Structure formats: structure tokens, C-alpha cells
Amino acid sequence: MAGQAQNGHGDLARKPPVVVMYSPPGMAGHLVPVVELGKLLVAQGLRVTVVLGGGGASSSLLHAAAAANPALAFHCLPPAALAPDVAAACSRSFEARLFELARAANPDLRDFLRAAPPAALLIDFFCSAALDVGAKLGVPTYFFFTTCVGSVAFGLYHPVIDERTTLGFGDMGGDPVHAPGLPPIPADHLAGAIQDRESLSNRHFVDLGLRMCDSMGVLVNGCRSLEPGAADAIVAGLCNPQCRPTPPLYCVGPLIKHGEETGASKRHECLAWLDGQPNASVVFLCFGSMGRFSAEQVKEIAAGLETSGQRFLWVVRRPPPPGAERRPPADGDDDGDIDELFPEGFLQRTKDRGLVVMFWAPQRQVLAHGAVGGFVTHCGWNSVLEAIMAGVPMLAWPLYAEQRMNRVFLVEEMRLAVPMEGYDKKMVESDEVAAKVRWLIESDGGRELRQRTRAAMRLAEEAVGDGGESRAALVDLARQWKSAADS
């Protein structure tokens, strides 16, 4: 074996086997749990290389992650090029483009893996085409889902739904869609990428449900105790297409970022402000890296917060230019006078009980602060897990991608959030913002929600602790990979 050396007793000392984790280009939200899982695998005596697919935003993500995690190796594939007809077919779908970029990168991935075949290959769901590379090289290949267990259950069942109906989800309006182990999901709460039955993105997701069954297993950033219905349905084979094998399920989360947050060279001013607030009194509003609202919606939120009388910490981004709603904010987007974003005099009138932060705040540290009593969230899964691990109850305000489906799971199944009504309409009105924020902090219902979230926090902590279900799954996988490498 390459890398062998003589130890002091004359025996061959083997280097630990390598696990390669493959993430799509430019997806910071996917890279965070990949890195956290990688660090845990290193702690289990494995070497880990994180590979990023070739694409425009990969380099900056790669360098930042590598600088913060010296125990991990990183590799960026060359930028992948799409054939003109494929690029045209993907022009309106960010998700389809990611699937196709991964397919186009297969030759480069194959060359990288062939040079030193790893003990296992863990691929993001957008990188499903890499299953072919793993099969060709004889490398055991697993999926790693950075979303919740419920998303995996629905993904497995998606081909079954596709076979049983000729309707697309976009034709079904708010009609409930049923899948084993999950609460009914309104069709219009499924991701936009699968609304059009004939779209390239939907075909990719249907194929993903089939390809999961060809893998050696599915790892997911969640734990059974938070989503027992979905996990049990997967394990029992209830979600699978007919005559397909059940992929082993490994719940290895919650995986959340630890240590200093990106961009935090010193303690953020908002944390000092929180130090001066009473325990569990502040509502934190933050909507992710692409969470931007229209100017009218920003003013409605401001009016609602003012009317509520509650303390608040609000991370605000400027409204997006027309047509750029799904584009990540660029440098300079949040420059300029912030007063113009809000109702006249809002900042002055609320200065004694509210703080507005432009662009970014250290979300995990904010949620862990004792002064925070509630979280208005876009329901991105990383954010949800950070709130659960901090024991902070949520008001759900989903925006895009799988976030509306996450809202269903959070509200109907886990009962760790209540919805901000109107998120699926043109506008969430100021009266709704005021009422829900006040309810969360002051009411018996809000206190009950906080108690349920604290109980969920304890379950999640147990899962990732010594002897917990998620830790045991991780230890089992590491043992399998090390044993296979030694045989």
C-alpha cells in the first residue's frame, strides 16, 4: 500500500484510510455540514479530503474552509463546461445546472480518485452522477444529505409519486401530497425545482430517488429522535420504488458549525448589545445568505416589530435588484444610508429595545446567547439545527428551495415552530408580525413551544454525545471503512 512505513518494531505502519467527500460548487450551506462531518471522521482515525466540484464560486469557499480546518485536505476540480444545448436547458434552473455541472465533472473526479482510490466516497445529492465514477473504480459510494431526514424520505418516494400520476406538483395547487412517514405536504410547498413535471430539474430529482437505492447508504444531517416517522419509514423500506433495495440510513447529526464564525475577527457588536438584555427576551430575525425582501415587506416587518413592543435583533439586507432574488448579495449591496429602508423615525423610536444589523451577524453565537427568546427563520436546515441545538423556538417564514417543506416538518411533525401567516402570499402584514412576535415571547403558548424546543435540544445533544445514536452510526461507518481498507 502506498504510504507504508516501518515503525519502531519493524512492522508496517499503515496510514489511516482516506474518505473523500464531494460537494457541489458554490454551495456554502452544503459545505458547512460537510466540513463538520469531515472533522468528526478525522477524530475517528480517518483521513478526509473534501472535493469541490468545478464552478465559479468554489475557490473562495475552498480557501476559507481550508484555512479554518487544517486537519482536512481540500481539492477543487477544474471548472466544468456544459455543452451549449445542456447549458440552454439549464438556463432557468439553478438546481438543474448543479446536477449537470457534476455530471460534466465526472472525468476530472475519476482522474483524481484513480490516483489514490479512497476507502469511501461520500457525495452530495447534487453530485448523484458521481455514483457512476464510484462504480467504475470500485469505490463504495454513499450519499450525504445536508438536509433533514424528511427530505430523504420524500426523495426516495418521489419516483413512486411520479409513476402513479401524470400531474405535476405545480398543477395540484395546495392539495396534500402523501409520503410514508411524513405529514401531508401541500403540493405548492414542495421545492420550485420539482413543480414542473417535465422540467429537467424535476427529472433529475426523480432520478435521484432511484439512484439513492444504488448507493451503499445514505448519511443525513439529522437524528432519529427528532424525525422518528421519516427515519422508521426509510428503514422499513416503505419509501422505496418497487423492487429497489433499501439503502442503509445513517443519521449522523445534528452537525452544526463550531468555533469562530466566518468573518468574526473580534466579538460582534450585537453580542455586546445582547449582554444588556433580559434573559429570553429578544426575538432574532435572520433569513440566510439569500434572504432578501422587497422594500414594502421590509417596512411591514419594521412596523410589526415596533407595534409588538418586544425586543428584537434584526439582520437586514437591502432589497434585491429586479430579477436577482436568488442571487447571493454582492459586495456593496448593503452599503448606503439604512434609514431609508424603514418607516420614517423607526430606528430612533426603537433604539432602546431593538438593534438592526446590516448584512451579517454571527448567527450561531446569537442563538446560543441567553437573551434570545425566539428566532424568525427562513427554515434553512442549517439554521433550524442551530436553533434546536440552542433550544430557541422558531417562527417559520420560508422563502425558497426546500424551506417550505421544512416548515411543514417543523410545524406539523416536530412541533418546534409556528408559521408566520402570509409567507406564501404576496405579503406578511405588520399586524401578523406584531402578533406572532408578542405571542412567542409573552404567551403561555410561546412558553410551551420553548419547553418543547429545549426538550428537542436535549435529544439532539444525546444523539451526538458519547453513546448516542448519531455518534454510534458514525463510529460504525468509520469501523467499516477502516476494516475494508485493512482487508
The predicted pLDDT at position 241 comes to: 72
What letter does residue 45 receive in the DSSP assignment? T
Tell how strand 141-145 and strand 120-123 pair up.
parallel
The predicted pLDDT at position 340 comes to: 85
Q: Tally the domains of the chain.
A: 2
Question: Within a domain: residue 373?
Answer: yes
The predicted pLDDT at position 261 comes to: 52
Q: Which CATH number do you get for residue 114?
A: 3.40.50.2000
Q: In the structure grid, which three cell numbers stand for residue 418, read together?
A: 409556528
C-alpha 476/C-alpha 470 separation (Å) is 10
Question: Within a domain: residue 408?
Answer: yes
The predicted pLDDT at position 53 comes to: 85
Distance between first and last Cα of the chain? 12
Question: Within a domain: residue 4?
Answer: no
Residue by residue, DSSP assigns 311-344 as EEEEEE-PPPPTT-TTSPPPTTTT-S-SGGGSST
Q: Would you call the peptide bond into 176 cis, given omega within 30 degrees of 0 as the criterion? A: no
Burial 397-415 (b: 16+ CB within 10 A, else e): bbbbbbbbbbbbbbbebbe
Same domain for 304 and 386: yes
Same domain for 152 and 279: no
Tell how strand 5-6 and strand 12-13 pair up.
antiparallel
Residue 463 to residues 254, 392, 459, 468, 473: CA-CA distances in angstroms?
A: 8, 18, 6, 4, 10
Residue the block writes with cell 428584537: 312
Question: Within a domain: residue 2?
Answer: no
Same domain for 124 and 166: yes
Query: Which residues of 149-203 form beta strands (DSSP E)?
Result: 176-177, 185-186
pTM score of the predicted model: 0.92
Same domain for 470 and 452: no
Helix (H) or strand (E) holding 470: helix 469-486
C-alpha 137/C-alpha 113 separation (Å) is 8
Same domain for 451 and 467: no
Residue 178 to residues 34, 56, 186, 247: CA-CA distances in angstroms?
A: 30, 38, 9, 21
Same domain for 476 and 443: no
Question: Within a domain: residue 374?
Answer: yes
Alpha helices in 194-343 (DSSP H): 200-212, 228-235, 269-275, 295-308
Bridge partners, 92 (sequence order): none
The predicted pLDDT at position 330 comes to: 52
The predicted pLDDT at position 5 comes to: 39
Same domain for 169 and 30: yes
Question: Within a domain: residue 9?
Answer: no
- Burial status of residue 207 (CB atoms within 10 A of its CB: 0-12, 13-18, 19 or more): middle
Same domain for 452 and 318: yes
Same domain for 327 and 232: no
The predicted pLDDT at position 334 comes to: 53
96, 87 Cβ separation under 8 angstroms: no
**Segments forming the whole domain that contains residue 335:** 269-462
Cβ neighbours of residue 380 under 8 Å, at least 6 residues apart? 29, 288, 401, 403, 406
Question: Within a domain: residue 7?
Answer: no
Same domain for 479 and 433: no
* Count of other CB atoms within 10 angstroms of residue 93: 19
**Number of residues assigned to the chain:** 487
Question: Within a domain: residue 5?
Answer: no
Same domain for 334 and 393: yes
Same domain for 133 and 32: yes
List the pLDDT tens digit at each of the 487 positions of the chain.
333 334 444 444 578 999 999 999 878 889 999 999 999 999 999 999 999 987 655 566 677 778 888 889 999 999 988 999 999 999 989 999 999 999 999 999 999 999 999 999 999 999 999 999 999 999 999 999 999 999 999 999 999 999 999 999 999 999 999 999 999 999 999 999 999 999 999 999 999 999 999 999 999 999 999 999 999 999 999 998 776 888 999 999 999 987 655 545 688 999 999 999 999 999 999 998 778 899 999 999 999 999 999 999 999 998 877 655 555 555 445 555 677 889 999 999 999 999 999 989 999 999 999 999 999 999 999 999 999 999 999 999 999 889 999 999 999 999 999 999 999 998 999 999 999 999 999 999 999 999 999 999 999 999 999 999 999 999 999 999 998 877 7
